[in-house]
Chain A
Amino acid sequence: MSDPLLQASGIYKSYGHVEVLKGVDFTVERGEVTALIGDNGAGKSTLVKILSGALRPDRGEIRVAGRPVSFDSPQDAHALGIETVYQDLALAPELGSAENVFAGRELLKPGLLGRLGVLDRKTMRRRTQQAFIEMSTDVKDIDAPVAALSGGQRQSVAICRSVMWADKVIFMDEPTAALGVRQTGRVLQLIRRVADKGIAVVLISHNMPEVLQVADRVQVLRLGRRVAEFRAADTTVEELVGAMTGALEGKAA
């Protein structure tokens, strides 16, 4: 069997005297949605920050496709095809979808104009439109400022942006937390489609039914350790909650 796409082993991280991560192991596979769940303070966001390059671990090893890596910044992770969709989406509300998708990665016109820094707006719009169609998002007007879009559409823009740049792993921090039922459904479909492209999606969520609906595997953190790993098809909400709270010790799938 080939190496996991992303593998973290023995990750430790402390803030002062508080040991947040105590030797966490974590693996994600190509084309799968891996849910990362845990109670507040279990260390989910710290782990994701470490795996997406925003934080450095005190100890531990991260391998991407079998190769050991170390990230000094999110840009290092980006360069390896790892993107993060932040809970606050990190979009520029006054600008349009294409402008947001290409933020910091603008394409320039070929030739002299490009050397003067002139943007190739047509290509950026076309590629954004293409990505939206490919992902079947419901963003109708890619020129409209992002602030004018619905919450679900904004989430779609943020996800499509990460899909355009990630070819390996996308971390999504509570992507449906602020959404209504219908929009949540659409975003979950979108997450599924992202995974079907062969990208590994790591979904952080508090919503157990949602996790079971969209994830392939579920990994449970508790008090800074991975305490259980389930196949979503073989588990139940009760079992997940049990593992999160420590009421029962789960076994790896």
Chain B
Amino acid sequence: MSDVRTAAPAGTASEPAGAVPPAAPRSPVRRFLSSSPAYMGLVLLLLVALFSALRPDAFPTAATGRNISLDISVLLVMAVGMTYVMVAGGFDLSIGSVLVFSGVVMAKTMIAIGGDGPLVVAAGIAASVGAGVAWGLLNGVCIAVLKVPALITTLGTMGAALGAAQLMTDGNDITDVPSALLTITASRPLGFSWLVYVAAAVALVGGLVLAFTRFGRHTYLIGSNEESARRAGIDVDRHLIKLYAISGGLAGVAGALSLIRFATTTISGHATDALQVITGVVLGGTSLYGGVGTVLGTVVGIFIPAVLQNGFVITHVQPYWQQVVIGFVLIAAVYVDRLKRRRRERS
């Protein structure tokens, strides 16, 4: 308290400055431990411990780690974008279709250029990301400028993007991809697929930007109270457009990753991607009402269904149970979030 400036002129002496004891903030560690990502992290650790105890020979192995991390990498890339959109109080149902559309654009681009080699792949990836950003911009303009609700806008583009992808391919998957893609899939530095590294990098950068930069702070402010953000001079519409463009762009990245992994456009395989991603994001503690959420939580939330799925397969439980369990866990997680909110608002 030695650095208290008393800028107030004399005459304020009715109550001496510093009469109130300085804040006794909760330590960051305690704050973290009471947060949703920490709870869900604990759940994740318990699941891993449980399956490891049940099948010590099969579950806690490098192969399982590789499988799970590869399974989640495509979803995680999209989930980072979804975290931004949902922290800002929005919603993006279109990502699965945008993934498909971007993958098709990437395959078509590579075919059009022809030949093989890293440059062709790079051009394809750029086209894929560009296509994703374009859908995202369309979403953003409809939502921020035309004020069409996010749910409806992205429901519309979800149908439109998939339809457009099917128009471009006559509904048939493109499997004619350069063999350079297969080289990428085959190479596994330190045992992990390239996809995993890309997903990790996206999550790391996305998490740091959301937590520590002005861009991230504005995202929280808009999600928490759009009107107050406007009054504080933040260009809300512009920011929202950027967020949907990021979400679309990351769906484009995911489209490229998916094409690289499967060497086919998997047109019919992504109808539930958006729902899976939203499930993971919400499990990770991001609020449906905006203003709350972290990328770290999203990583945990995306891992939980994947670990359950793999664990059930390994322990010979019918893997369909995964969907049942995750469904109820999701409901429970949102219920707990509501309870915490209500208790806080009553205090």
Contact = CB atoms under 8 A, between A and B. Distances in A.
B225 A92 contact: yes
A141 B21 CA distance: 11
Given A133-B4, A193-B12, A196-B9, 8 more contacts: A90-B227, A93-B225, A116-B213, A117-B214, A118-B213, A133-B17, A145-B344, A193-B15
A93 B291 contact: yes
A55 to B, nearest CB: 14
Contacts of A105: 232-233
Contacts of A130: 3-5
A193 B287 contact: no
B169 to A, nearest CB: 40
Interface string B10-47: 01101111111111111000010000000000000000
- Majority secondary structure, A binding face: loop
A15 B186 CA distance: 70
A91 B226 CA distance: 10
Interface string A101-143: 0011110100000001111010000000110111011111111
Interface residues of B, number: 51
A99 interface: yes
B112 interface: no
B217 A106 contact: yes
Interface in B325-347: 341, 344-345, 347
Interface of B: 1, 3-9, 11-12, 14-26, 31, 209, 212-215, 217-218, 220-221, 223-225, 227-229, 231-234, 287, 290-292, 341, 344-345, 347
A134 B4 contact: yes
Given A104-B233, A133-B20, A141-B26, A92 B228 contact: yes
Contacts of B217: 99, 106, 119
A193 to B, nearest CB: 6
A99 B9 contact: no
A120 to B, nearest CB: 10
A168 B227 CA distance: 24
A138 to B, nearest CB: 6
27 contacts: A90-B225, A91-B225, A92-B220, A93-B291, A99-B220, A99-B221, A103-B232, A104-B218, A106-B214, A106-B217, A108-B214, A116-B213, A117-B209, A117-B214, A117-B215, A119-B213, A129-B23, A133-B1, A134-B17, A136-B17, A136-B19, A136-B20, A139-B23, A141-B25, A143-B25, A192-B14, A196-B12
B11 A196 contact: yes
Contacts of B21: 140
A57 B225 CA distance: 28
A78 B224 contact: no
A134 B8 contact: yes
B291 A92 contact: yes
Contacts of A138: 20
A141 B22 CA distance: 8
A136 B20 CA distance: 6
A95 interface: yes
B15 A95 contact: no
A237 interface: no
